[in-house]
Structure 1
Amino acid sequence: MAPPHNRRTGFSRRAQYGLFLSYVVAGVGLVIGLGLLLLSRFDPPAFSALRVGVAELTTPVASGLNGLRRAATIPSGVTDYFGGAGKIRALRKQLDEERAIVMRARTLNAENRRLRALLHVRDAEATPVIAARLVASTATSTRRYATLNAGSRQGVEPGQSVRGPDGLVGRVLETGPNSARVLLIVDAESIIPVRRARDGLPAIVSGRGDGLLEVRSAASVNAPFRAGDIFVTSGTGGLYPPNIPVARVTRDARDAAEARGFANPDSLDFALVQRVFMPPPPAATPTPAGAAR
């Protein structure tokens, strides 16, 4: 018996079901995206609470995936071990070139210790809040955030600075019970008061949103910047503790220079959460009308 003429070539009910499900998933995703967009536009507090809740649910999963990703880097570590001879030679050459700088730095440190002893000055080191793991970061988005697997239950609060062993990472923006959202220094909304390490020139470091930073002088117009200039936090504004490395200028410029941050959130395992350098004064308690009389 010949097949019916109305049967199309390549007919497959499974393919039809798959195409139908793909349309359904796309439609549901579109509806959810529009709903979230409207919620963030007309009710930001509710959207923030929803975002914190999602972070609480996804942080344990992200912590597990982060551990697997770091375990997968073992073969590259073996390769680096066998190819370490060239790196050792390069490090020895760099050490010879910077020997004079190290000797000059030691001399300056000795002089600083002597002057501090004369002035009876003591540095007050703030006690860190907690060392926590950065489990996720937005490397491709126009906004740059990271997720910390510690929250309000561990003493983390909005405004506290987050730093790694190499330098400043960012500051805490939102907190949940066991997770926190960190605004990275490379985000376009990040602004950090800094000073140049070699002469104390005050400047402002702001994020560009593309993984780099911009340094602008806060003291004079057309201030010269040289490639290699190092900028550290100044403590101005009371948010970030002073003397945390922030950025290094990549090329000579005037007034505004391109720079690269010392800390890379994508390669960090643990970060240190520090208390606010100068917490705001407590709000004044209103005096009752009867007590004023």
Structure 2
Amino acid sequence: MAQRQTSPPPASETWRTTGERVESLLTACAAGGTAARERGEELVRLVTDFYGAGLERLLDLVHERGGLDDTVQAALAADELVAGMLLVHGLHPYGVADRVEGALESVRPYLGSHGGDVELLGVTDDGAVRLRLLGTCDGCPSSSATLALAVRGAVESAAPEITTIEVEPAAGSAGTTPAQGPLVPVDSLYSRLREADPSGGNAGDASAVWEPVAALVALGSGEVERLSAGGFPLVACRIGPELFAFHDRCARCERPMEGATLARRAGGGPDDGVLRCSACHAHYDVRRAGACLDAGAEGAHLDPLPLLADGASASVAVPSAPVAAR
């Protein structure tokens, strides 16, 4: 029987592993005392500065010869590894506001799939990002989770120098006025995720991470599948070209969604989707953040998970502390 050929790990995984290895070696240096740790850190700093100077000179040479046009700059910024190196050395071609707007653009398909959106109001000189939630994201039960998992992750990845995220209510909504919008420290955005930890523990102690889930790409329209991402149980489905993911737990019977089916709502259009729990027969509106449609279940909903897909790959944001399936 022929053995299955395995592909080499993606370049992004290789350099992430290298970064983790550098950190572990520095930690090991600490075992030799403070002086050993300081020498290790100085070595890393000198090597980083050396290559940073070379990278800066490389960009200068390309620019002097007219090669650093908008197309090339966009390609550099779009490459995760190159963009990270440019950020470290202060050479990124785009400012903080442009990078944050680009990050929000990347998660808008997820927000839009639930009838919501987010608006960038500005970035202050001290590194505070001011946002406004729109549509169903403004005041919906899962808006805190949306911020914690989708928006925060995208913004911090694109602009690691930010300090806080200010969230202002939409015009006309209840609560504080836009001029007095609450200041939300970045670390506090995981509070709802911690409160909702189904294991009873504190799943938000570490944070949330984006986990690749290759099986989602092959999911056909109308199909439902229960999967695991980084040890976190999820149930996913596809409606046409769009993918949706939720924590694998029914909000009514609190059981895993084993045998769940996806159907069109009675009288609904072709893009409507209702996820049905096979255990208690509860019905959830997929496009409305998993809101329960059954009488007497107002406020009940599945826990949606941010999901990004480009047709060739898919990733889901889940708590970094694994949660065992029940």
TM-score when normalising by structure 2: 0.25
Larger radius of gyration: 1
TM-score when normalising by structure 1: 0.27
Say which structure, 1 or 2, has more relative contact order (CA 8 Å, 6+ apart). Answer: 1
